[in-house]
Amino acid sequence: DRRLIDQSVLGSLLHPLLLSMPNLQPEKYFRESARKTFTRRKSAAEEESRLSRRSSGPRSPVTAGAVAGGEVDAVALQCDIDCVFETAAIKRRAVGPKDVQIDVKYCGVCHSDLTFAVGATKDLGIPQHWPVVPGHEVAGVVVAVGSDVTKFQTGDHVGVGCMVGSDLTCRACKRGDENMCLNQVPTYGGALRKDDPICPVVEGSGETQTMGGYSTAMVVNEHFCISIPKAYPLECAGPVMCAGVTVYNPLSTYGVKEGSHVGIIGLGGLGTMGIKVAKALGARVTAISRGEKKRALALSHGADDFIDSKSPASLESGVASLDCIINVIPVYHDVTLYTPLLKPSTGKMYLIGITESTMAAFAADALLLGSSVITASLIGGIACTQEVMDLCAKYMIKPVVEVAPTTAINRIFESLNGANEAGVRYVIDIAGARNPPLKLGLSFGEPTDLHTDSHGGGHTAPLSASKVIFYELPKMLLVVNRRKVLPILGIVTLATAMIGVQLLKKK
């Protein structure tokens, strides 16, 4: 079955890439059984029965950070294979010498939380186990530190982004790119090992994977904690460590500075954050979207110009004007439409949403030793994440957030499954600063009702390795980078012909 081969090949190529990228569209991969589950109604008796079966602790509230036998008790918001949420009592590991214990106040809800919860990555050949506790936009307060911790003390505001571990010994880690480490441990869904000094498994817990920030407490190695200045609103900090670093990393890699001209394609929560970060770096920003619908949104977030990509005249007005483009569109589309907007020779486009084009862009850039016109970008390492956090605190760059109670998780997932016209980042109120806190026994109402047509089109088949290799990669090399590739092909062809002639002479 070629589809299964495609999935297994992609699985080996993309891990841990997929868990680092925020924009994979899960609605393309829903199984029929899952769709039926989303639409069924549950009676109060069924809900209570399910909570009783799946909750692993007492029904009374658990205090965040309560210590029993050295381990840390917490309440988590977890979901099963059908994306049905419930609360559960969990245990975090005891605070080790280099660990920080966090009383979680807020956790942002990223589109990749939805991706992972519904199992889209599993259909791509990446192992996944349920129940899963999502959340990699964590913001809270330090309540305990290990004996060897030097970066934090109790009372500090602290955050956790997309990863909680790596080997810290490989070349990628040593240059500050922990996100590229082959042994990276994602904040949720990452494999746990007893012998791992950074993310050891809780003895006797039966847990096999990391549990994320939809919980009242976390214990994390200090290296993977981000310092949040106390003047910066905690409810806004979580998205900075995901959306913020996702757009900041390519801007930093390109070297965007005062006078640079940046294009942002895709104007949801990620794109609007990209506008603000690019402006803080001193760039002129042009927002690019299909139609005029989001012009006002783009300008309200600080964009200097707007291009309607459906209008040939509008596209023509921006030809050869942009130093770099950050493309955050999460569904397959023709990326070559935007390459004429780049300045000749120096312009570069960074793809962030996971599509066949993104995979091909990675390969093409590697083959051309980093000189491809189009490449792709991941989240950044820990230092990069701290940089963007400090930048946002310095200029008070705040994502537009909607703080919601944990009981609103189904509504939030349904909104993320749509077009997010308002460009907001959703944040759940774990500690209950404005809403009821996360505790055992909460009811989340009717299960999430997600529809594959919620975007009004734009859906494609699951990612195909064949499409990457035989269509998108040749297009990247022979169309996007033809000026660079054709001379190379000419040299290779000439060299091959000369070798052939010599072999024929010998015969």
Sign of CA dihedral 225, 230, 231, 235: positive
Question: Which of 188-202, 297-311, 359-373, 462-476 has the highest average model confidence (pLDDT)?
Answer: 297-311
Instruction: Yes or no: say if 129 and 89 are a contact pair by the CB < 8 Å rule.
Output: no
Sign of CA dihedral 161, 165, 167, 168: positive
100-144 pLDDT tens trace? 999 999 999 988 888 788 776 665 556 678 899 999 999 999 999
Average pLDDT, the chain: 80
Residue 464 has a pLDDT of 61
pLDDT band at 69 (very low <50, low <70, confident <90, very high): very low
Kindly state the percentage of the chain with pLDDT values over 70.
76
Task: Enter the DSSP assignment of 470.
Answer: I
Residue 329 has a pLDDT of 86
Residue 62 has a pLDDT of 36
Bigger pLDDT: 129 vs 253: 253
pLDDT band at 309 (very low <50, low <70, confident <90, very high): very high
Rounded CA separation 91/241 (Å): 25
Rounded CA separation 375/362 (Å): 6
In what helix (H) or strand (E) does residue 489 lie, and over which residues does it extend? helix 482-506
433-479 pLDDT tens trace? 878 888 887 877 666 555 443 333 333 335 566 777 777 888 888 77
Task: Enter the DSSP assignment of 191.
Answer: B
pLDDT at 308 over 70: yes
Bigger pLDDT: 457 vs 189: 189
In what helix (H) or strand (E) does residue 403 lie, and over which residues does it extend? strand 401-404
| Long-range own/partner contacts, residues 418-423 (CB < 8 A, 24 or more apart) | 418/454, 418/455, 419/268, 419/454, 419/455, 419/456, 420/268, 420/269, 421/293, 421/294, 422/297, 423/267, 423/268, 423/269, 423/271, 423/272, 423/294, 423/297, 423/301
Instruction: Yes or no: say if 369 and 40 are a contact pair by the CB < 8 Å rule.
Output: no
Rounded CA separation 141/319 (Å): 48
Kindly state the percentage of the chain with pLDDT values over 90.
50
Residue 463's Cα: distance from chain center in Å?
17
| Alpha-carbon torsion, ordered 39, 44, 50, 52, to 10 deg | 160
Rounded CA separation 117/325 (Å): 30
pLDDT band at 239 (very low <50, low <70, confident <90, very high): very high
Enter the tokens of residue 248: 């900041």
pLDDT at 13 over 70: no
Q: Is 297 helix (H, G, I), strand (E, B) or coil?
A: helix
Indicate the burial class of 469 (C-beta count within 10 angstroms; 0-12, 13-18, 19 or more). Answer: middle
Give the position of tokens 């605070």: 95
Bigger pLDDT: 490 vs 218: 218
How many CA within 13 A on the CB side of residue 491?
4
Least confident window among 9-13, 275-279, 326-330, 429-433: 9-13
How many CA within 13 A on the CB side of residue 424?
14
Give the position of tokens 């975090």: 92
Residue 160 has a pLDDT of 98
Residue 178 has a pLDDT of 95
pLDDT at 47 over 60: no
- What are the strands of the beta sheet with 71-79, ordered from one edge? 67-68, 71-79, 85-92
Buried b (16+ CB within 10 A) or exposed e, 49-63: eebeeebeeeeeebe
Bigger pLDDT: 203 vs 269: 269
pLDDT at 68 over 70: no
pLDDT band at 54 (very low <50, low <70, confident <90, very high): very low
Residue 489 has a pLDDT of 64
Residue 66 has a pLDDT of 42
Bigger pLDDT: 52 vs 365: 365
Instruction: Yes or no: say if 215 and 76 are a contact pair by the CB < 8 Å rule.
Output: yes
Instruction: Yes or no: say if 462 and 3 are a contact pair by the CB < 8 Å rule.
Output: yes
Distances from the Cα of 411 to the Cαs of 192, 414, 440, 492, in angstroms?
31, 5, 20, 56
Which amino acid, 180?
M
Buried b (16+ CB within 10 A) or exposed e, 377-413: bbbbbbebbbbbbbbbbeeebbbbbbbbbbbbbbebb
Rounded CA separation 173/381 (Å): 8
Mean pLDDT of 225-229: 98
Residue 15 has a pLDDT of 42
Question: Which of 7-16, 56-65, 189-198, 440-449 has the highest average model confidence (pLDDT)?
Answer: 189-198
How many Cβ atoms are within 10 Å of 472's Cβ, its own excluded? 22
